Structures are given as C-alpha cells and as structure tokens.
Amino acid sequence: MSEFAAKYGPWALITGASEGTGAEFARQLAKKGLNLILVARREGPLAALADEIGKASAVKVITATIDLAKKDAATRIVEAAASCEVGLVIANAGADTNGSLFLDRDIAGWEALVAMNVSTTMRMVHHFGQGMRARGRGGMILVGSGSCYGGLNGMGVYCGSKAFVMNLAEGLWAEFRHYGIDVLNLILGRTDTPAHRKILEESGQPVDMTGMASPVDVARIGLEQLPHGPIYNWGQSNDVAGYAPNSPDARRERILMIEKMSSAYAGKK
C-alpha cells in the first residue's frame, strides 16, 4: 500500500465523476491504489469510465447514478458507500447549468444549484467526516471556483454557493486538522472541461480553450495540495494573493491566530 493510500484509502468517493476533472481524479487515484465510488448524474459516461479504470488497474469501482441537486442525493450517496471505508471525499460537481440572469430563471433552478453546491456537499462531508474522525485520518477536497471571492453579473447564486463552500472548507480544516483529516478548497479558474465547453457553445461564445487549465493538471495538483489546505488558488503560489483578497498562507495564519486567541481567552475564564 502506498503512503497516499494508507492516509486516504482504502476507498475514495468522487462526485461529478463522469467527465472532466472528476474523471481525472478517478484515474489518478486508481493509479495510487484507491478503490473508487464514482457518483454522477449520467449513467452512460459513468459506466464507461468504470470500465476503463477496471481494465487499467486492479482497484474496485462502484458507480452510483445520482442527481446531486435532488433532496435525497446525500442519502443515496451514503447508501451507495455503505459497505466501504471512505478515506477521501472529492466534491467535484457544481457547475452552474442555468446559464441565465437571476430573474430570467424560475426559482426552482436556483434552488437546485444551492442544493447541489451547499446542502448535498454539507451532508456528505458531515457523514463521511464521522468515520474519518473515528479512524484519525482522511481527506476532503471541495472543488470550488474563483467566483467565490465576489458576486458577478448573472452569477449571483453560483458565486454565493461557492463562497459558502470556501468558508465551509476553511472551517472544516480548522476543526478537522485536530483529528488527522486534511481539507482543501481547490479553487479553480477557467478549466477545459466538457461542461465548460457546453456553456460556451450554448451562450454563443467562441470555444477557445487557450490558456485554460487541463483536468489532468487540476487533479494532479489538487492531490498534491491536499495536505496544505485549507485553500489553493489555481495557478498561484500559496504565498500570493493574486486575484483573491489575500493569499492562502495569510488565510491559514488568520485561522490559527484566531484559534490561539480564543484558546488563551478561554483559559483565563
């Protein structure tokens, strides 16, 4: 067993696993010897990926066709993984498929986006975090977007939900590090995925992937950065703020400083 598998195995759960970055996480984790639980909305691509990985490696692969925007999504994910010791959770799904201004879309579409990015993610990490805490090891990667740092025209709900994910990841990192669990919010910019290409096509924009991140690199660097949470901004060093208000290193230090101050205050009572 590799050092990575010993820390984060024996099973990894990946949502949004049928294509793009999710599929690449699956391929790379299989090479590291982790068994996989692959979750996505579309059965065909999910089955094809499972077949591909099964032929290329000896790991076990379970697939579950689940719409993460549904109210019972987290419950169904837990049921799919019931017999598995999940040591790594990658919440990778979360693209905004509404493609419209806020008032031009029925509220149900925005509620579905919030359910996927907020409710399902929160319930999922709460459940699997229980087992990781009991074992004293594990990891979580919550894939996010640079839109978490501020609202954008036509993307209010998406930006808001990604801001929730960022703050959730930081809070979980602060708490879970005491249990041996690594947490990372992998904040991406523009990435060459089928979902992103579809959005460009449907909006009439040119499909030019020049300069975009590749799913292969996203998965590789995301796994490398996992022990160095809580935040990683794609394409930037951890000591650089760049497009963010402050750097990941500065955000980490802020969390530790507040924790230290709180502990000192509590000790004086």
User: Angle at the Cα of 21 (from 192 to 136), degrees rounded to 5?
Assistant: 150
Domain ranges of the chain: 3-268
Q: Is the peptide bond before 230 cis (omega within 30 degrees of 0)?
A: yes
Given this model, what pLDDT does residue 204 score?
A: 66
pLDDT classification of 207: cutoffs 50, 70, 90: low
Q: What local confidence, expressed as pLDDT, does residue 201 receive? A: 60
Q: How far apart are CA 247 and CA 187, in angstroms?
A: 12
- pTM, rounded to two decimals: 0.92
Q: What is the reported pLDDT for 94?
A: 78
For residue 10, give Cα distances in angstroms to 69, 173, 186.
27, 21, 22
Mean predicted confidence (pLDDT) in 139-167 = 96
Q: Is pLDDT at 89 greater than 90 in this prediction?
A: yes
Identify the three-state secondary structure at position 120: helix
pLDDT level of residue 96 (50, 70, 90 thresholds): confident
Q: What is the DSSP string of 2-14?
A: -HHHHHH-SEEEE
Distance CA 24, CA 257 (A): 36
- Mean pLDDT over the full length of the chain: 93
pLDDT of 269 higher than 70: no
Could you check whether the bond before residue 10 is cis, i.e. omega within 30 degrees of 0?
yes
Architecture per CATH, domain 3-268, reads as 3-Layer(aba) Sandwich (3.40)
Residue 60's alpha-carbon distances to 4, 31, 95, 125, in angstroms, are 17, 12, 28, 22
CB 79: neighbour CB atoms within 10 A? 12
94/109 Cα distance (integer angstroms): 13
Q: Which secondary-structure segment (H or E) carries 114?
A: helix 107-114
Q: Are strands 61-65 and 86-91 parallel, antiparallel or unpaired?
A: unpaired
Tell me the pLDDT tens digit for each residue of 5-57: 999 999 999 999 999 999 999 999 999 999 999 999 999 999 999 999 999 99
The model's confidence at residue 203, banded by pLDDT at 50, 70 and 90, is low
pLDDT at 99: 82
